[in-house]
């Protein structure tokens, strides 16, 4: 989406009002289209496929620069819990999220009641990516990780569904840190910076929902399959027989 807008406007514009509307089901090669529609002072962006619209957002015509820095040592000092990221992924797997090796980027995690911070380790090769997916997803995983640690009897994962804005001030070229601040309820601000604390990506007003039954109904679709007809059904008479089940 950012590359499409850059191609049309020549600028890296911040994204606003992002909503995830449906997942992309991948069983084979899929074609996704990024549709960028210009308006008076900004652009509307939609990600679509044959299934419909998967995500939608718009740009802000005013680009911004970051002067924020994460006070890494201060955040560590006021944290109440310290957790190794490697123990998080079995818990996420129990909740239905089974991450591959390149997406297991959470390192050490520090957390307290209203904030959390984690070291993120770049894994795999992401040449050409300003925002390596593994690192960006690791920042989102931090929200679910802290939630699972505090609610060990409820392993259901938190999943993002809306975002007020995303500002990108620089590329995530290597290991970094993510800082999550609670806004109340299941809304958060997330700041991703380099290892010195310089903020490179800011996600504001990120909304999460805890899935009602793991991933049931989110990534699953109905499929018909052939089954042999029982003798009782065949005995009802000749001709075709339709079995309809809910």
Identify the pLDDT of residue 214.
44
240 has a pLDDT exceeding 80: no
- Counting residues of the chain whose pLDDT is more than 90, the rounded percentage is 28
Average pLDDT, the chain: 82
State residue 2's pLDDT score. Answer: 75
pLDDT of residue 235: 57
The confidence score (pLDDT) of residue 23 equals 78
Would the pLDDT of 237 be above 80? no
pLDDT at 220: 55
HSE-up of residue 13 (Cα within 13 Å, Cβ side): 24
Residue 204 CA to residue 181 CA, distance in Å, equals 10
Q: How does residue 159 score in pLDDT terms, banded at 50, 70 and 90?
A: confident
pLDDT exceeds cutoff 60 at 69 = yes
Q: Which of 183, 177, 171, 175 is nearest to 72 (CA)?
A: 177
140 vs 221, which has greater pLDDT? Answer: 140
Task: Give the residue-averaged pLDDT of 3-12.
Answer: 76
At residue 180, does pLDDT exceed 70?
A: yes
Closest CA to 57 of 42, 71, 69, 72: 42
Q: How far apart are CA 195 and CA 190, in angstroms?
A: 15
Name the residue with higher pLDDT: 240 or 123: 123
Task: Calculate mean pLDDT across residues 213-230.
Answer: 62
- Position 232 scores a pLDDT of 63
Predicted confidence (pLDDT) per residue in 191-215, tens digit? 999 999 999 999 999 988 876 654 4
Region 111-129 average pLDDT: 89
SS3 content of the chain, % helix, strand, coil (to 5): 20, 35, 45
How confident is the model over 16-41, as pLDDT tens digits? 888 888 878 777 888 889 898 888 77
| Mean pLDDT of the 59-68 span | 70
The answer, as to whether pTM is greater than 0.75, is: no
Burial class (CB in 10 A: 0-12, 13-18, 19+), 153: exposed
């Amino acid at each position: 989406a950012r590359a499409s807008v850059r191609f049309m406007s020549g600028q890296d514009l911040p994204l606003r009002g992002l909503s995830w509307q449906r997942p992309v089901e991948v069983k084979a090669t899929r074609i996704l289209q990024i549709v960028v529609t210009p308006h008076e002072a900004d652009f509307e962006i939609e990600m679509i496929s044959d299934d419909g619209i998967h995500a939608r957002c718009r740009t802000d015509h005013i680009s911004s620069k970051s002067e924020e820095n994460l006070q890494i040592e201060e955040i560590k000092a006021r944290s109440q819990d310290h957790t190794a990221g490697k123990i998080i992924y079995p818990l996420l797997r129990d909740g239905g999220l089974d991450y591959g090796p390149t997406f297991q980027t959470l390192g050490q995690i520090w957390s307290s009641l209203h904030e959390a911070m984690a070291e993120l380790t770049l894994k795999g090769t992401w040449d050409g990516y300003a925002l390596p997916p593994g690192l960006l997803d690791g920042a989102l995983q931090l929200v679910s990780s802290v939630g699972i640690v505090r609610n060990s009897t409820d392993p259901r994962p938190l999943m993002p569904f809306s975002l007020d804005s995303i500002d990108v001030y620089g590329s995530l070229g290597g290991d970094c840190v993510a800082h999550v601040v609670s806004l109340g309820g299941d809304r958060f601000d997330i700041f991703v910076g380099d290892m010195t604390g310089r903020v490179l990506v800011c996600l504001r007003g990120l909304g999460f929902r805890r899935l009602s039954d793991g991933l049931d109904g989110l990534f699953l679709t109905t499929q018909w399959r052939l089954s042999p007809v029982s003798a009782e059904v065949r005995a009802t008479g000749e001709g075709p027989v339709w079995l309809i089940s809910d």
